[in-house]
Amino acid sequence: MAFDYKKEYKEFYVPKDKPGIVEVPRMNYIAVRGKGDPNEENGAYKRSIELLYGIGYTIKMSKKGSRQIEGYFDFVVPPLEGFWWQEDKDSIDYAHKEDFRWISVIRLPDFVTRGDFNWAVEEASRKKKSDFSAVEFLTYDEGLCVQCMHIGSFDSEPETVALMHEYMEKQGYVLDISDKRLHHEIYLSDARKVEPDKLKTVIRHPIAPK
């Protein structure tokens, strides 16, 4: 049976719908950076998702090709994630999505080296006859965070974020968002198929002791 990160690491992918504190280890990701409204039809954000999954499935299906990746095990491609911010703003302003800056990511299995990743980019480019040059290998050390499962539309996220911040302060922590530690979302629902009020999104914010 294919290894499923959501099932094996529930503390990171299936938290409760109440805030909690979590220590997130360093992880490697497939990543694409961009800016603009994620809802824009045929926009940069939607293109980034195509690129991410193109590489993810190239690595997953490598077992059937010429490249035998050392340490390979079959896996379920992890869910789409995103790091979000807006220039010169301490919080996310959902009324101005055109100002979003983002890094779209999908987690890489630990066995994938930079060499394997570079091969996957070349292989996907060749097979799909598409430009994957925007894709990068990203190592992100998230560390101590407050997180919560948000159920509902993306525009209602501020309500959950307020609960998270209230909880962390009571636990003796302060928000530690910076250009190195960002607002993080993990998407457990397909927004094309699920009603907005039923969407499941993990929201995670970096924190530090007071």
Angle (CA) 46-113-38 rounded to 5° is 10
pLDDT in tens, 146-192: 999 999 999 999 999 999 999 999 999 999 999 999 999 999 999 88
- Domains of the chain: which residue ranges? 14-209
Threshold 0.85, pTM exceeds: yes
pLDDT in tens, 70-126: 999 999 999 999 999 999 877 788 889 999 999 999 999 999 999 999 999 999 999
Fold of 14-209: Multidrug-efflux Transporter 1 Regulator Bmrr; Chain A (3.20.80)
Evaluate whether 161 touches 146 at the Cβ level (below 8 Å). no
CA 186 to chain centre: 5
User: Virtual CA dihedral for 116, 120, 121, 126, nearest 10 degrees?
Assistant: 140
| Cα–Cα distance for residue pair 111/114, rounded to 1 Å | 10
- Burial tier of 97 (Cβ tally within 10 Å: 0-12, 13-18, 19+): middle
